[in-house]
A and B are shown apart, each in its own frame.
Chain A
């Protein structure tokens, strides 16, 4: 006779673990199943963890969680082949409590977070793959794992199985994602001593900096690169839509090498020793790619529900919030004894009413727009760089002459009109 739990959560990433934590806290008998050797062993992100959403689950977590550095500066580099225009915001309000965000290494952080859920009473099962949901009379009633005697029962199953969510797919909640709905990110962790990191990134002891890279970092393919400071390592990576890699016939590791040897990046990472190489898909289809997130006896959270805001590189925070909201819905459903689709629909409503749904809606066309019109990354960023170079190079040319040159660089009237239209369009999808 298969064992029965109140709730089974598949996947111990930020969404699944947040859900397990909240359910255990409410006294629900919850099982968290992870396919990796330990939570975090298979999880990847660039490394920015937002304080607010984590704190809503574990107050004051930064005092004990394995965080790397609180971020005090966020830089944005618009790159051409051998130049960059950099915007930055640095604020000392981010250097003290309550902080804004932190860099983390997921292998460490996820392990810690899952241990907190276990402390609260969740049962964690590692190295076990859930093959499918058990469906009876149109209702999910449990899961089947890859282990002998591997069936389990539950009132409700939460799918937190990540970007490709095979489980949600097999329930018919979504189709196979298209290459323009997912990004492929590769990253490396490079070892560098503390003092050198702080010197190179203009930081005081313990503080952190993030740099987002646009334009030539991805060779003009829609996507971004990043360079983040950890305690004694740097995280460097690049992520582009899968469709872009296919179209440009570029292999992810070639792009990674290109970023690492780029003259704007090379000095930051000089002498740093590669420690780890990671790669992962990121769901970037946004609002329009969201699957069905509620069914009878089943909820979908985190990456599995495509909850990523690609424009603001937010994902883990959305995952945690979705996990928390799923837990709240389950607790309420238990009180009513109603795990039907209607009984669990509160999760969908809560999610879409929260910043998660609101932000996804706001940027619902953004990724698609920039994918459809590649000129932003391919042409306009290099153009900005040439303009800056023109204006800031002192060579005896009168400034009015320089302005004319920049204006001519845009091209004939047709191109100028096109650019104006593109700017308007970009404003429209981002507003």
Chain B
């Protein structure tokens, strides 16, 4: 029997979010809050592993009280239990402080039922860092396996897992001890339309909700804004590329034109200044 915990997050739907043109930050009120799409695949994978090996699937999130909705979504997918840590002390956390808080919550969950496997989505669509999963693994001192596209085998008795990790030119097969942490790619599975019994269970489900006081041996200086060394000094929108030329004519002629450009215009290969966060 496996105890699998999926770490999930509620995020604004960045497909439709509006940016504040003055501050270049997201206007979170302009988009509905959804379950981070990568996390849905993490939960689905956990549910599939439960179907293969038996066990319990729990989900854990940190967030404001409305994030209960994201937990219910995970119950719809098939998770058994949902845990949420919510407290003003957690607010403003970067990935370092978030992974610390989640680790403390995972330790508490492990007291209820020892954890064999932690599954995370590849990254969140609002932060795009992919750091929290490996951060948790480091703190728990267990192997982090990122970019997982397939779980080939879990052996709860001999305590190992074999997974496929996506590489640029293929994949690698890795065997790890249990417990370990997987962060999964979208291609690992498809999340099916939830069943009616799961929907009803989710509609009725009340998650376990903990505040800072419920977590053991917690160092408050490592939480929230205080525990976050990341400083966003400025945010800017990437420059839109300008100019450009269209090559026309027959394929042969286009190829020779292209070669001319590549051979004569060396400046094209110098690093361009993009946009982003510093």
- Asked if residues A128 and B204 are in contact (CB atoms below 8 Å), the reply is no
Which B residues are CB-close (under 8 A) to A375?
A: none
Supposing A147-B194, A148-B193, A149-B195 touch, asked if A3 and B200 sit within 8 A by C-beta, the answer is: yes
Which A residues are CB-close (under 8 A) to B196?
A: 128, 145, 147-152
A123 lies within 8 A of chain B by Cβ: yes
Which A residues are CB-close (under 8 A) to B193?
A: 146-148
- Asked if residues B195 and A125 are in contact (CB atoms below 8 Å), the reply is no
A145 to B197 alpha-carbon distance, docked (Å): 11
A197 lies within 8 A of chain B by Cβ: no
- Asked if residues B199 and A147 are in contact (CB atoms below 8 Å), the reply is yes
Interface residues in A111-143 by Cβ distance below 8 A to B read: 123-125, 127-128
A37 to B16 alpha-carbon distance, docked (Å): 16
B1 lies within 8 A of chain A by Cβ: no
Which A residues are CB-close (under 8 A) to B203?
A: 123-125
- Asked if residues A125 and B199 are in contact (CB atoms below 8 Å), the reply is yes
Report, as a range, how many residues of chain B touch the other chain.
10 to 19
Task: Determine which residue in B192, B196, B200, B204 has the highest number of CB atoms from chain A within 10 A of its CB, and name it.
Answer: B196
Which A residues are CB-close (under 8 A) to B204?
A: 123
- Asked if residues B199 and A128 are in contact (CB atoms below 8 Å), the reply is yes
Task: Determine which residue in B32, B192, B195, B199 has the highest number of CB atoms from chain A within 10 A of its CB, and name it.
Answer: B199
Q: How many residues of A contact B (CB 8 A)?
A: 16
A110 to B204 alpha-carbon distance, docked (Å): 20
- Asked if residues B197 and A125 are in contact (CB atoms below 8 Å), the reply is no
Which A residues are CB-close (under 8 A) to B192?
A: 148
Q: Chain B: which residue is nearest A128 at the CB level?
A: B199
Query: Can you list 21 contacts pairing A with B, beta carbon distance less than 8 Å?
Result: A3-B197, A3-B200, A31-B200, A123-B200, A124-B203, A125-B203, A128-B196, A145-B196, A146-B193, A147-B194, A147-B196, A148-B192, A148-B193, A148-B194, A148-B196, A149-B195, A149-B196, A150-B195, A150-B196, A151-B196, A152-B196
| Min CB gap B269→A, angstroms | 44
| Min CB gap A184→B, angstroms | 26
A149 to B204 alpha-carbon distance, docked (Å): 18
Q: Chain B: which residue is nearest A152 at the CB level?
A: B196
| Min CB gap B190→A, angstroms | 14
Which B residues are CB-close (under 8 A) to A150?
A: 195-196
Q: Chain B: which residue is nearest A118 at the CB level?
A: B203
Known: A3-B200, A123-B204, A146-B193. 15 other contacts (CB 8 A): A124-B203, A125-B200, A125-B203, A128-B199, A147-B194, A147-B195, A147-B196, A147-B199, A148-B192, A148-B193, A149-B195, A149-B196, A150-B195, A150-B196, A152-B196
Q: Chain A: which residue is nearest B192 at the CB level?
A: A148
Which 8 pairs, one residue from A and one from B, show the smallest C-beta to C-beta distance?
A147-B196, A148-B195, A150-B196, A149-B195, A149-B196, A125-B203, A123-B203, A149-B197
A124 to B32 alpha-carbon distance, docked (Å): 19
Which B residues are CB-close (under 8 A) to A148?
A: 192-196
| Min CB gap A39→B, angstroms | 13
Q: Chain A: which residue is nearest B73 at the CB level?
A: A127
A311 to B53 alpha-carbon distance, docked (Å): 64
Q: Chain B: which residue is nearest A147 at the CB level?
A: B196
B178-220, CB under 8 A of A: which get 1 and which 0? 0000000000000011111101100110000000000000000
A335 to B68 alpha-carbon distance, docked (Å): 37
Interface residues in B75-112 by Cβ distance below 8 A to A read: none
Task: Determine which residue in A3, A127, A147, A149 has the highest number of CB atoms from chain B within 10 A of its CB, and name it.
Answer: A147
A227 to B193 alpha-carbon distance, docked (Å): 40
